[in-house]
Amino acid sequence: MGQNKLKTRYNDDELEEFKEIIDAKILEAQEQLDFCLTQLSDMADNPDSKIKGLDDGIGTAENERLTALAARLKKHIQYLENANLRIKNKVYGVCRESGKLISKQRLRAVPHATLSIAAKQQQK
């Protein structure tokens, strides 16, 4: 009888592949965050830079949009950094509900995922 043991964790080479994906996503998100923060800083430093005649609400709406985007990017970066911690601890890619491995396809698409697609669908 052949042993058909289910894989319980990703091997070190697989974890390294995911780490590279995550590191690239962190870098991209950090660049976007830096851009947002620069825009917000410029808006705060130059309140007279608004185009004359435009409603003050446009500047306020843009400020709120950039602030919300910056908050989402910070949260996204934290999720990615947490994923790197799971890689370091060799528990990356394990569904927190079922304990089974999350598919590589899902992790490549959503590298900070902590739930398999089946577990995520059950949450709805």
pLDDT for 57 beyond 90: no
Residues 22-30: contacts with CB within 8 Å, 24+ apart? 22/80, 22/83, 22/84, 22/87, 22/111, 22/112, 23/84, 25/80, 25/111, 26/77, 26/80, 26/81, 26/84, 29/73, 29/76, 29/77, 29/80, 30/77
The pLDDT value recorded for residue 58 is: 66
Q: Where are the domains of the chain?
A: 12-90
pTM: 0.82
pLDDT for 25 beyond 90: yes
Task: Give 45 or 83, the one with higher predicted confidence.
Answer: 83
pLDDT for 53 beyond 50: no
* H or E element that contains 53: none
The model's confidence at residue 59, banded by pLDDT at 50, 70 and 90, is: confident
Tokens of 82: 């947490």
